[in-house]
Chain A
Amino acid sequence: DAGVTQSPTHLIKTRGQQVTLRCSPKSGHDTVSWYQQALGQGPQFIFQYYEEEERQRGNFPDRFSGHQFPNYSSELNVNALLLGDSALYLCASSWTAKNIQYFGAGTRLSVL
């Protein structure tokens, strides 16, 4: 049984560009949450998707958007990239929001 998978593993972009990160949840999970983890810090919540809708959002600008597909997989999009967007982006899946969130290995984004 595959766990949470994310792609790509690493990505290098330049300021102003746009990026799309992808996540496949653990089998049986219907809820996907995205987190940003800066170097040396704990993960920070970006948003959560359930039934293809954004259910809750953290303190991130509208440049960060997402989508959930009928198969529960999800995408995170970031527009107009800033140097400060460089971080590890983590996807977590769970069966409903009330249960344990399991994390993927993350996508390391570097903005130059």
Chain B
Amino acid sequence: GESVGLHLPTLSVQEGDNSIINCAYSNSASDYFIWYKQESGKGPQFIIDIRSNMDKRQGQRVTVLLNKTVKHLSLQIAATQPGDSAVYFCAEKGTGANNLFFGTGTRLTVIP
């Protein structure tokens, strides 16, 4: 079956440092991946997405890397700020599927 998992449940970084959040997936047929940020009391907020025909995509202060060989996804946040503190989820969508499969999430804490 499909599963999306995260290597670390929690991550603490110093303000100004770069953060890297990792995610493993098991369905080699997944063709779309997306990162969400969820703050306390709020719904998931879209950060960045990537399709399987790409291995890197950049946004504002964020970069997503996709390694299909080892089925690994990562989210890099540059110059992490206190406002980046939240739970980060990776999600995948299989070919032909309409729904997203989410992992458990990683809690990022930014230390001022």
Contact = CB atoms under 8 A, between A and B. Distances in A.
A105 B43 contact: yes
A56 interface: yes
A58 B102 CA distance: 13
B103 to A, nearest CB: 5
Contacts of B45: 103
B62 to A, nearest CB: 15
Interface in B73-112: 89, 91, 97-105
B59 interface: no
Given A42-B105, A100-B46, A105-B42, A48 B99 contact: yes
Interface residues of B, number: 21
Contacts of A81: none
A46 B3 CA distance: 16
Nearest to B42: A105
A18 B22 CA distance: 39
Interface in B13-53: 34, 36, 41-46, 49
Interface size on A, as a range, is 20 to 34
Contact of A33 (B34, B41, B46, B99): B99
Interface string A18-62: 000000000000010101000011111100100000011010000
Contact of A100 (B49, B97, B103): B49
A104 interface: yes
Interface in A1-21: 4
12 contacts: A31-B98, A42-B102, A43-B89, A43-B102, A48-B99, A90-B43, A100-B46, A102-B46, A103-B45, A105-B43, A106-B42, A106-B43
Given A35-B102, A42-B104, A106-B43, 5 more contacts: A31-B98, A42-B103, A100-B49, A101-B46, A105-B41
Interface of A: 4, 31, 33, 35, 40-45, 48, 55-56, 58, 90, 97, 100-106
